């Protein structure tokens, strides 16, 4: 089995600054992998994430280090022993899935259109209300907030999207006092769930807490082994392939979450449709999808996802990935 492996880092600009509690971004860095075997080509992508200690240089080093093993035939099961979870492994794992599908060795889970959350970045209450007005009729709206005026921002937004499912993401920016104090407002505004309010290192404070809305682990949840620690603190988990290190572990994490009675959201980093094509395979089984990463890009990959009405996302064209 002879394989040719190509890896690297790609940079893409955003059309609008993306603001969350940890800061603002105007471009992204992507790990990209191509594996050729005969006439079949598999592609994968991961989004380099500073929150998890990643840098473009470090991810590029990880990719170069694994090229020889992949060229020699290492598969997805071996990959989990050879690389830690993260964007580099995600890119390699998804490239292997794509290659195996094109060789007829695997059939990835089927895909169909899903309603994805559309995200409102952090701004003033007035600016966020104006942005929310443009999303009227969208099925799911995800609101990024920090510890500064979250109540004012949420009160300003909700009247603009009266029929939408509303998700609030604090990206680790709240205190436990804020979590407790804001419960009545979250219930009043019919927020479906609250995502990662506390820093991951401090989320033991949630153990045994009975809130009025479910709380979803994001930064606290990476792989299946995390679930036993999280099940007493959260009611949901957010599965992102850049945290799990690929689709292989993401499917295992989904099964483990369901076995423990946890709800599942499938999210993404800002990325192109190449990353979203793999995430679709888990999103079709989830309670909520948040796959709008490509919509922030100045330019996506040709043949990628397509948006319909009300936030309905259609998967990439046949042959783009996994078929």
In tens, the pLDDT along 230-239 reads: 999 999 999 9
Query: In this predicted structure, what is the pLDDT of residue 110?
Result: 83
Structural domains in the chain? 4-102 (3.30.390.10), 114-314 (3.20.20.120)
The reply to whether 240 belongs to the active site is yes
**Residue 144, burial from CB neighbour count under 10 angstroms (0-12, 13-18, 19+):** buried
Whole-structure pTM value: 0.96
Count the helix, strand and coil residues of the chain and give each as a percent rounded to the nearest 5: 40, 25, 35
**Average pLDDT of the chain to the nearest whole number:** 97
210 is catalytic: no
How many residues appear in the chain? 323
Element spanning 28, H or E: strand 23-37
8-state DSSP, 167: E
Task: Evaluate if residue 107 carries a pLDDT over 90.
Answer: no
Q: Is pLDDT at 19 greater than 90 in this prediction?
A: no
Segment 50-73 shows an average pLDDT of 97
* Region 263-270 average pLDDT: 98
d(CA 307, CA 312): 6
Q: What is the pLDDT of residue 108?
A: 81
pLDDT value for 23:
78
Q: What angle do CA 182, 187, 193 make, to 5 degrees?
A: 85
- Measured distance CA(293)–CA(269) in Å, rounded: 6
The stretch 280-303 carries a mean pLDDT of: 97
Mean pLDDT throughout 155-184? 98
Among 102, 142, 240, 243, the one annotated catalytic = 240
The answer on pLDDT for 1 being more than 80 is: no
CA distance 278 to 276: 5
Q: Is the pLDDT of residue 240 over 90?
A: yes
Asked whether 229 and 209 are in contact (CB, 8 A), the reply is no
* 171 vs 174: CA distance, rounded Å: 8
pLDDT at 287 over 80: yes
From the candidates 102, 142, 144, 243, give the one annotated as an active-site residue: 144
């Amino acid at each position: 089995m002879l394989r040719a492996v190509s890896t690297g880092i790609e940079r893409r600009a955003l059309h609008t600054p993306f603001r969350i509690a940890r800061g603002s971004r105007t471009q992204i860095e992507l790990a990209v992998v191509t594996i050729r075997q005969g006439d079949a080509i598999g592609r994968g992508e991961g989004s380099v994430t500073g929150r998890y200690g990643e840098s473009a240089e470090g991810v590029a080093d990880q990719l170069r280090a694994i090229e020889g093993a992949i060229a020699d035939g290492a598969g997805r099961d071996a990959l989990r022993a050879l690389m830690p979870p993260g964007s580099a492994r995600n890119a390699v794992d998804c490239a292997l899935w794509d290659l195996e599908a094109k060789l007829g060795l695997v059939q990835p889970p089927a895909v169909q259109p899903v309603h994805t959350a559309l995200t409102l970045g952090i701004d003033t209450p007035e600016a966020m209300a104006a942005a929310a007005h443009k999303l009227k009729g969208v099925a799911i709206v995800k609101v990024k907030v920090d510890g500064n005026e979250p109540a004012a921002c949420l009160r300003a937004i909700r009247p603009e999207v009266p029929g939408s499912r509303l998700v609030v993401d604090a990206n680790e920016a709240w205190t436990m006092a804020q979590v407790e104090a804001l419960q009545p407002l979250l219930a009043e505004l019919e927020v479906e769930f609250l995502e990662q309010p506390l820093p991951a290192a401090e989320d033991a404070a949630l153990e045994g807490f009975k809130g009025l809305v479910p709380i979803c682990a994001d930064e606290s949840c990476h792989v299946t082994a995390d679930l036993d620690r999280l099940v007493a603190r959260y009611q949901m988990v957010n599965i992102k392939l850049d945290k799990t290190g690929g689709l292989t572990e993401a499917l295992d994490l989904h099964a483990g979450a369901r076995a423990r009675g946890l709800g599942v959201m499938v999210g993404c980093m800002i990325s192109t449709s190449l990353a979203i094509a793999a995430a679709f395979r888990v999103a079709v089984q989830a309670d909520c999808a948040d796959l709008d990463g490509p919509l922030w890009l100045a330019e996506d990959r040709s043949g990628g996802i397509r948006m319909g009405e009300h936030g309905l996302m259609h998967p990439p064209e046949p042959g783009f990935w996994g078929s």
